[in-house]
Chains A and B, each alone.
Chain A
Amino acid sequence: MRAALSEPLATIPVAPSMSMFDPVFIGIDEFGHPAYLDLVYHNLLDAGEPGGGKSVLIQNLVGHAFLCHDFTPVLLDPKWVELGMWMEAAEAAGGVFIGPDIEAGLRVLRRLQKVMDRRYSWLVAHGRRKFLPSDLIKVIGIFIDELAYYTATTGTPEQQKEFIALVRDLVARGRACAMPVIAATQRPSVDIIPTSLRDLFGYRAAFRCTTPNSSDIILGHGWASAGFNAQTINPTTPGVFYLIAEGGIPELVKAAYLSDEQIHQLVDYVTWIRRTGESHPVSLAA
């Protein structure tokens, strides 16, 4: 693939300047204020009707992540069309893209589990409890679109169980060692995602749902009756969702929109700088 860049380039690629530890812009809230997520220390579950805008939100987060110098991508998308766009970029950044192949998914999750164990050993050795930006650690962002495909649709029940167990481990332990999980699914009910896994996500985004009950499943019990009901989101405005952060009040947010052209532009750029730019070996702080 390097052959594509045979002729010398006129400009010198600049390294991505953002950090994964920066807040991620996701859109605007009802007051017109920009809404941000703190991705490194939180896992995000986004759920809702098909066509609600889940994948667009994930694209925003992936786009931001790729512009960060300290990001290693792990992208899983059984539908190919969303995160598959980032396949080359993921390769160039030293990460992986997995399509609708649960065995490949399991392999990468097992590898991630080992990475996590090593990172915790590093933390223990330094007497610390979590990674900080000053550690110059690579943040491994695990993005899974259509989580239900791996947990309830494809593969044998054993594979699905193992997938759930591995994701649960990453969600439960990945926070402190800079390995956030961002997953999207349509309806996170028990048959698709066990409650024990669902409840571990710190951020939940509820896109339009068909019933108040579905909304409550995503946001937590009781919010629909207080008026925070994702069923009431206007179907003509995709991309609007209720976002709840640990223990807070749900906020109505409209996600920013990235068109296909913009995503291609981003992919081209991040792939180019990663292939041609100096690859700074990032070492852990001593």
Chain B
Amino acid sequence: MSKGSFGTPKHKGGLGRRHTSVAVIQHNVQYSYLRTAKITFYVVLAVVGLFAAVISTYYLHPLAAVPIGLVAGTIVGGLVAAVIAIWPVLRAIWWWLPEITFALLLVDGWVYLQDWTNPIITGVIYASIIAACGLIPFLRRYVLALAWCLIVRHRLRVCFASFLSADRHGHLPFIGVAKPIPVGERVWLWLRPGLSLEQLESQLGRIAVACWAASVTVTKARTSNAAVIYLDIKRRDVLGGLVGSPLTEELPTDVPAIIRPVPTLPAQLDLADVPDVDDTDPTERPAKKTGRAPAVNGTPAKTTPDNPDLDWI
């Protein structure tokens, strides 16, 4: 089910939706978080308030315990409810956390250096750091790989928002950390209830396109928890080079060559050299078969049924 279908009349009644405008998803998500926050507030208030009141009766007069329980419950419940209510904001901060941290570091560094030296030296330091990242190949590769990690997290978010069918609250996979791997990036995801690995599997082609990658694979990260998965986003072909074999490295070089039996070399190697007679000479059979084998092997493959199940059973 695509996200766009939330507002359709078909689902309207069943899911208790109030509006049918285009922005119904956003509204619905917001509504759901607020409602959850409210319920959580009352539950936490009750539980924490009760505990605080009971504990404080050991030290205070029972009458004084009631306001203390109320205050403690309100504070804790309020905090928890606030986190839930502003979760969409926190999530957005989490999405941009690396960028925010980086920007803060840049600005802080500048301010800090301003206090110690003059702006020209600060500028020179910044310029040399940037030049080093751009000119030293090792650093450049590392910086680029990190930059791709940042880009990919945002691309994935866009992907999920645009074509991953979410649950009825619009929950999307939680995008965890990304790290560079030789072929591209590996991104950990936490699947929310209502999502499954298979849903991502069916969208791998689109994810690859959105991430400007060659291909994407999805794998369970833990055997004990189906919600934790990782995507390998592959954009570099690292297996193009020749891999040498170490087997001959340590061999002595003065080994006498073995005498290979010299077979009588056949001279007639063209089709015309083999007359069209039904010869069943057993000595010739293997040679003929040898030449034909690949073609014969190939033929049955084409005639196999297209149905994958037929092939399997």
Q: Contact check: which of A186, A258, A272 meets B245 at CB < 8 Å?
A: A258
- List A48-70 residues whose CB lies under 8 Å from chain B: 50, 60, 63-64, 67
A256 in the interface (beta carbon within 8 A)? yes
Q: How far is the CB of B132 from chain A (nearest CB, A)?
A: 25
* Contact of B311 with A237 in the complex, beta carbons under 8 Å: no
B136 in the interface (beta carbon within 8 A)? no
Q: How many residues of B contact A (CB 8 A)?
A: 53
* Contact of A269 with B252 in the complex, beta carbons under 8 Å: yes
B301 in the interface (beta carbon within 8 A)? yes
Given A100-B286, A265-B251, A268-B255, residue A152 in contact with residue B243 (CB < 8 A):
no
Fill in one digit per residue for B81-107: 1 if any A CB lies within 8 Å of its CB, else 0. 000000000000000000000000000
Contacts of B301 in A (CB 8 A): 186-187, 189, 192, 214
* Contact of B298 with A50 in the complex, beta carbons under 8 Å: yes
Given A257-B243, A271-B258, residue A227 in contact with residue B216 (CB < 8 A):
yes
Fill in one digit per residue for A134-158: 1 if any B CB lies within 8 Å of its CB, else 0. 0000000000001011001110000
Contacts of A254 in B (CB 8 A): 239, 241, 243
* Contact of A232 with B215 in the complex, beta carbons under 8 Å: yes
Given A50-B298, A254-B239, residue A269 in contact with residue B251 (CB < 8 A):
yes
Contacts of A252 in B (CB 8 A): 239
Q: How many residues of A contact B (CB 8 A)?
A: 71
Q: How far is the CB of B179 from chain A (nearest CB, A)?
A: 12
Fill in one digit per residue for B8-44: 1 if any A CB lies within 8 Å of its CB, else 0. 0000000000000000000000000000000000000
Contacts of A213 in B (CB 8 A): 306, 308, 311
- Report B's interface with A, CB cutoff 8 A: 181-183, 197, 201-202, 204, 215-219, 232, 234, 237-248, 251-252, 254-260, 286, 289-290, 293-294, 296-298, 300-301, 303-304, 306, 308, 310-313
What are 7 contact pairs spanning A and B, CB under 8 A? Answer: A60-B245, A79-B290, A152-B300, A190-B311, A240-B239, A257-B242, A266-B251
